[in-house]
Structures are given as structure tokens and as C-alpha cells.
Amino acid sequence: MKIVCVGRNYIAHIDELENERPEHPILFIKPDTSILQKKQPFFIPHFTNEIHYETEVMVKIDRIGKHIEPKFAYKYYSKVGLGIDFTARTLQNELKAKGLPWEKAKAFDGSALIGNWFDKKQFIDLNSLSFSLEKNGTIVQKGNTSQMLWKIDELISYCSRFFTLKIGDVLFTGTPSGVDVVQEGDVLKGFIESLDAFSVNIK
């Protein structure tokens, strides 16, 4: 399986990092080795001291698809959830400045926290889905899928133009504003609507 991630899909996040607004979705891939194992802490890797959390709504693909039309994209997933794209920010900035790919900063082991999955039928409107992240009991990120530049079905369609989507693949749909550094001892908890999505300790 693979994790397809979308960058710069929320205006406020684009602004906070002083990035340019893209004309098309920015895509990058995390390998399955990037998945943080269930109930395991996140260990800050040795190669950086600046890891940022990026909380994102996820969908799990449950049909094989290629060149999927947006109007049919809803048929290719039945589960949604919340996760974190852990990012080595200083390293990413160095790579961006040189025009190099982001994998070293985005796809390292344990960089993808995949929270609980929920049947999408539990939610009234996936295009108006609220989610949040707490750090040590304080809300540090709040978002709503209505703020996305490209909605979930549009993203699935766009991704499938370039990659065959297979059963078990996961799509991270982008992060809202509020990204920041984690430190040893932090506890991160994610919520999608009123549901507990994940909890992770930082080591």
C-alpha cells in the first residue's frame, strides 16, 4: 500500500508558511514504512530537532481505480479518519530551497500517524467535516474540509490520473493552519467531529 499526500490544500496554511498557492494539487508519497505502528509513541528522529505536526483528514481506498471521474470518486472509499503528517520542517525548507524532493523530510520511518477509521456514513457532509488537534490539552489546530482548495472527491480523481489507486491505499488531504513543533513529552490527541481519532505520545 501507499500513502498519497496532498500539500497546500488550505489557504491559511499556505499563508502561514509563506508558500505560493498552487494551480493544481501538490502530491507526494509516503511508503508503508512511514506508518507509525498502533499505540506506539512517536520518536523524534536523530537527524532533526524540528518536527512539526500536520493534522489531516484521511480516506482509505477500497476499490482499484485509474482515471476516476470526480462524480464517481465517492464509490472508491467508505472509511474516513484523521492522521498526522509529521514533517522535518528545517530539512524540508532546505530541500525546497534547492528545488529537491521532500521525501527525506516527509517520508521517514514513523512519519505517518494513521488514526481510527470511521464509516463515512456516520457524517452528514464530508465536504463540511470539522476536525481538531490538541497538544497537552490545548487545541492547536482546527479545520473543516469546507476550507479545502480541492475537496476529497476531486483529489481522488486527480491522484488517479497519475497513480493507480489500490485497495488499502490512504489519501492524506492536507493540513489547515496551526502547524508547529513537537517536543519530547508532548501528548497529541486528534478529533474528527466529536469522535476520538487518535492519541500519541512524543518521545
pLDDT tens, 88-146? 999 999 999 999 999 999 999 999 999 999 999 999 999 999 999 999 999 999 999 99
Output the pTM of the full model. Answer: 0.95
Is domain 3-201 classified as CATH 3.90.850.10?
yes
Please give the Cα distance from 56 to 182 (Å, whole number): 16
Please give the Cα distance from 179 to 55 (Å, whole number): 8
pLDDT above 90 coverage of the chain, percent: 92
Question: Which cell is 81 given?
Answer: 479518519
Q: Read off the pLDDT band of 86 (50, 70, 90).
A: very high
Tell me the per-residue pLDDT of 168-191, one tens digit each, with 9 for 90 and over.
999 999 999 999 999 999 999 999
Kindly list the domain boundaries of the chain, sorted by start residue: 3-201
